[in-house]
């Protein structure tokens, strides 16, 4: 067994001990039960923790009836978990003492580490060193601990535990203590039970994904959710996402820092490295992680997932008592890519008989307020719609109904028992007893027309991701032999020469334009004569990657004078643009024609590894940032999904007279690039195929920049 897997086993065991400790020791316990170092004891006693509780503080002999020891040595057993609520400067020594005692895991509440700046960073480094030496695994520092509600482990000072708490099938892990507490409190209000609530704080040792993995393995947990302020370990996240898929437990994440400014603020706060949010988003989508944009949406999605069977597709049926609500939901559904299919004739005929004349029997269906007088209108409409083979999932919108709660709860419960297909209730201004009643009967209930569609859309996307995942299990990508792929790169470094990069990529099957290097005017003329077609001249220099900016590109040249002029002009302006640049000469190639321009690129990211991008067209890519990313390697099917994510995707189908393009050929190219990127990940830093022109014969890359280390 190598040292890495030992560390992994140690972490696994430590996390198990941490999440389900048979006994807990509080280092620096206080008799002031409302202070940070007093609250865990209060909570453990109040909430009925059944394990052993040990307190260490030389100041006291007993707190709230629990013996307090002067030091760890005085305790005659080895607790599973230590809570450290000491000043920052005392934490290292405490960890070493824990190690000596053989305690596997510690929750470090203490602040004054990375979050306060360089001084704290230094202390953090020492703490990690102490942890490694002593073999104690740490959650924190600067965290507010954890709750395992199943076993009444309230090893926390979070004010969430001040109120009533109960267990439930959601595992929740948060980078932030304050935001995490807010989410936990909101979950409680919605009757969403948190089986686990862990705050990971500065994450100097155990991180979000490692802890979440252990929670996910608990059979009492059905859904896992996280609040993130950044991602340090992309590999661990991918592993977690795969495990979540394997066990069919959806992973729902809210991550802040969607924009540049946000990422900056995050960096200054948590010491977490700013990550390019687009990459995170792409990786989440690729591996079936559900992303919620904020805390309320996260809880909406959890609500739906906890109670509702998986839908088989994206075809939504809508039933309301208000035409306006129907429109609002239909609009949102369309924006999110859900279908609102026409119902089968039989269904429409049946609904026409059920629904009053001033309602609407087509999807979205409006049963009108008449169902209050005659509940069968609502019940039968829902059943008939759920029975339609065109429909995968149904949302029912209603409001208020203070005087009809029992009737409606019974009605929905009866349907839930009779029907297997998923449905979700959207009950605006619902009385509290309506929400409780529906929950008791296993029915999800949300609060508004737009939020319910958002949540259903996330649920539908999860079910689609899960189907994709099941399908791709066991499939193997046509691998490029890494050794073979790497060997041409062996002697290259920095910005690769255009000729070499073109040859290399053509060699692995990427359709590349033919290019030649001319080091003199005469050479350029000769190449043009051989081609006997209009040509393009472009500066060739390892130091100039933005050729257009350097005025280093001349298009559509077809006579000797123009070519000579262009050659001289390019060399001159390149020298002015970058006086120290090595100018190797000028690339001469055919003037390619093509309407649509694409860009495909690769970036080696510190967090997520080899990331592949596709975007539409020249300048537009920079103005609109209309690009899609995936982690390499991936299949053609995944590349097709990338194309489908582009806002400008309508252009592929041909717009105003332009011909549709072969999307599959583009997807093949992207997938091929992803396989190449994966096989040369040890060397390739960056690759830009820009532009790729879409001609009648398919895509053709006419320029490229490749950088290796």
Residues in 635-654 at the binding interface with its own copies, rule: CB under 8 A:
647-648, 650-651
195 binds its own copies (CB under 8 A): no
Contact segment (CB under 8 A) with its own copies among 18-26, 78-86, 263-271, 432-440 equals 263-271
Cβ atoms of residues 549 and 538 within 8 Å: no
The owner of tokens 């959890």 is 302
Cβ atoms of residues 75 and 25 within 8 Å: yes
601 binds its own copies (CB under 8 A): no
Query: Residue 434 has which token pair?
Result: 């309506």
Query: Residue 219 has which token pair?
Result: 């059979």
Minimum Å distance from CB 14 to its own copies? 26
Cβ atoms of residues 160 and 181 within 8 Å: yes
Q: Is the peptide bond before 693 cis (omega within 30 degrees of 0)?
A: no
Euclidean distance between CA atoms 197 and 14, whole angstroms? 17
The correct pick among 622, 644, 697, 709 for binding its own copies (CB under 8 A) is 622
Cα–Cα nearest to 414, from 375, 368, 455: 375
Minimum Å distance from CB 351 to its own copies? 14
560 binds its own copies (CB under 8 A): no
The correct pick among 135, 313, 369, 542 for binding its own copies (CB under 8 A) is 369
Q: Count residues near its own copies (CB under 8 A).
A: 88
Give the x/- contact pattern for its own copies in 525-554, rule: CB under 8 A.
Answer: ---------------------x-xx-----
| Residues 6 or more apart in contact with residue 80 via CB below 8 angstroms | 17, 18, 20, 21, 22, 23, 24, 51, 103, 104, 105
Query: Residue 474 or residue 657: which is nearer to its own copies going by CB?
Result: 657
Minimum Å distance from CB 94 to its own copies? 20
334 binds its own copies (CB under 8 A): yes
Euclidean distance between CA atoms 698 and 663, whole angstroms? 9
Minimum Å distance from CB 545 to its own copies? 12
Is the Cα torsion angle 123, 125, 128, 134 positive or negative in sign? negative
Query: Residue 52 or residue 618: which is nearer to its own copies going by CB?
Result: 618
Query: Residue 243 or residue 327: which is nearer to its own copies going by CB?
Result: 327
Instruction: Give me the helix-helix angle, 405-418 and 432-440, nearest 10°.
Output: 20
Residues 38-77 touching its own copies, rule: CB under 8 A, are: none
401 binds its own copies (CB under 8 A): yes
Give the x/- contact pattern for its own copies in 157-176, rule: CB under 8 A.
Answer: --xx-xx-----------xx
Query: Residue 98 has which token pair?
Result: 């824990």
* β-pair partners for 254: 227
Cα–Cα nearest to 561, from 552, 550, 569, 553: 569
Give the x/- contact pattern for its own copies in 561-600, rule: CB under 8 A.
Answer: ----------------------------------------
Query: Residue 531 or residue 648: which is nearer to its own copies going by CB?
Result: 648
280 binds its own copies (CB under 8 A): no
The correct pick among 3, 358, 532, 696 for binding its own copies (CB under 8 A) is 358
Query: Residue 326 or residue 610: which is nearer to its own copies going by CB?
Result: 326
Residues 474-533 touching its own copies, rule: CB under 8 A, are: none
Contact segment (CB under 8 A) with its own copies among 17-25, 53-61, 180-188, 244-252 equals 180-188
Query: Residue 541 has which token pair?
Result: 């220099």
Euclidean distance between CA atoms 248 and 412, whole angstroms? 26
The correct pick among 11, 108, 244, 263 for binding its own copies (CB under 8 A) is 263
Residues 105-134 touching its own copies, rule: CB under 8 A, are: 111-112, 115-117, 120
Query: Residue 406 or residue 484: which is nearer to its own copies going by CB?
Result: 406
The owner of tokens 């643009």 is 577
Rg (CA), the chain: 31
Query: Residue 131 has which token pair?
Result: 């942890």
Cβ atoms of residues 555 and 591 within 8 Å: yes
């Amino acid at each position: 067994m190598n040292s890495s897997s030992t560390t992994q086993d140690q972490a696994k065991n430590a996390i198990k001990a941490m999440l389900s400790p048979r006994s807990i020791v509080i280092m620096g316990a206080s008799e002031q039960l409302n202070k940070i170092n007093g609250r865990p004891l209060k909570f453990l006693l109040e909430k009925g923790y059944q394990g052993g509780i040990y307190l260490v503080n030389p100041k006291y002999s007993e707190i709230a009836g629990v013996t307090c020891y002067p030091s760890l040595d005085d305790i005659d057993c080895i607790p599973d978990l230590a809570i450290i609520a000491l000043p920052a400067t005392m934490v290292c020594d405490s960890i070493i003492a824990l190690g000596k005692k053989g305690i596997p895991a510690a929750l470090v509440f203490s602040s004054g580490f990375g979050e306060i700046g360089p001084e704290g960073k230094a202390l953090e480094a020492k703490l990690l060193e102490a942890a490694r030496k002593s073999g104690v695994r740490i959650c924190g520092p600067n965290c507010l601990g954890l709750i395992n509600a199943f076993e009444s482990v309230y090893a926390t000072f979070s004010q969430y535990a001040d109120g009533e708490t109960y267990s439930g099938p959601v595992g929740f892990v948060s980078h932030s203590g304050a935001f995490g507490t807010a989410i936990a409190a909101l979950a409680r209000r919605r009757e969403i039970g948190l089986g686990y609530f862990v705050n990971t704080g500065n994450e100097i040792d155990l991180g979000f994904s490692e802890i979440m993995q252990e929670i996910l393995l608990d059979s009492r947990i059905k859904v896992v959710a996280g609040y993130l302020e950044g991602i340090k370990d992309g590999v661990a996240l991918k592993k977690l996402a795969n495990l979540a898929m394997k066990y069919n437990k959806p992973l729902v994440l809210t991550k802040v820092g969607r924009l540049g400014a946000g990422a900056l603020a995050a960096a200054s706060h948590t010491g977490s490295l700013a990550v390019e949010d687009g990459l995170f988003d792409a990786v989440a989508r690729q591996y079936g992680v559900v992303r919620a944009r904020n805390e309320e949406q996260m809880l909406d999605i959890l609500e739906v997932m906890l109670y509702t069977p998986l839908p088989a597709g994206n075809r939504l049926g809508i039933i309301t008592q208000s035409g306006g609500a129907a429109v609002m939901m239909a609009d949102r559904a369309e924006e999110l890519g859900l279908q609102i299919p026409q119902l089968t004739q039989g269904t429409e005929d049946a609904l026409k008989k059920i629904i009053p004349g001033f309602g609407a029997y087509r999807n979205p269906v409006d049963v009108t307020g008449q169902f209050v007088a005659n509940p069968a209108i609502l019940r039968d409409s829902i059943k008939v719609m759920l029975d339609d083979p065109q429909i995968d999932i149904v949302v029912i919108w209603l409001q208020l109904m203070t005087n009809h709660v029992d009737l409606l709860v019974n009605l929905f419960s009866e349907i839930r028992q009779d029907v297997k297909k998923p449905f979700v209730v959207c009950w605006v201004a619902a009385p509290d007893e309506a929400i409780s009643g529906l929950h008791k009967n296993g029915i999800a209930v949300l609060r508004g027309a737009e939020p319910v569609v958002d949540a259903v859309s996330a649920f539908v996307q999860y079910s689609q991701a899960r189907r994709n995942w099941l399908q791709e299990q066991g499939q193997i990508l046509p691998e490029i032999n890494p050794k073979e792929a790497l060997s041409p790169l062996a002697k290259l470094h920095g910005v690769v020469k255009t000729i070499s990069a073109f040859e290399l990529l053509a060699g692995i099957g990427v359709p590349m334009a033919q290019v030649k290097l001319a080091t003199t005017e005469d050479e350029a003329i000769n190449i043009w004569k051989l081609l006997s077609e209009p040509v393009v001249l472009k500066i060739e220099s390892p130091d100039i990657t933005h050729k257009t900016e350097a005025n280093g590109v001349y298009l559509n040249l077809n006579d000797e004078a123009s070519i000579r002029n262009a050659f001289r002009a390019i060399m001159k302006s390149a020298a002015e643009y970058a006086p120290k640049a090595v100018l190797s000469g000028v690339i001469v190639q055919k003037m390619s024609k093509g309407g649509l321009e694409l860009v495909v690129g690769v970036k080696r990211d510190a967090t997520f590894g080899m990331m592949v991008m596709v975007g539409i067209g020249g300048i537009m890519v920079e103005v609109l940032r209309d690009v899609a990313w995936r982690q390499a390697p991936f299949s053609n099917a995944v590349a097709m999904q990338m194309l489908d994510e582009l806002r400008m995707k309508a252009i592929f189908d041909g717009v105003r007279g332009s011909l549709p393009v072969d999307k599959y050929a583009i997807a093949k190219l992207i997938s091929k690039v992803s396989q190449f990127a994966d096989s040369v990940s040890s060397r390739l830093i960056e690759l830009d195929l820009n532009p790729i022109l879409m001609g009648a014969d398919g895509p053709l890359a006419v320029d490229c920049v490749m950088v290796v280390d």
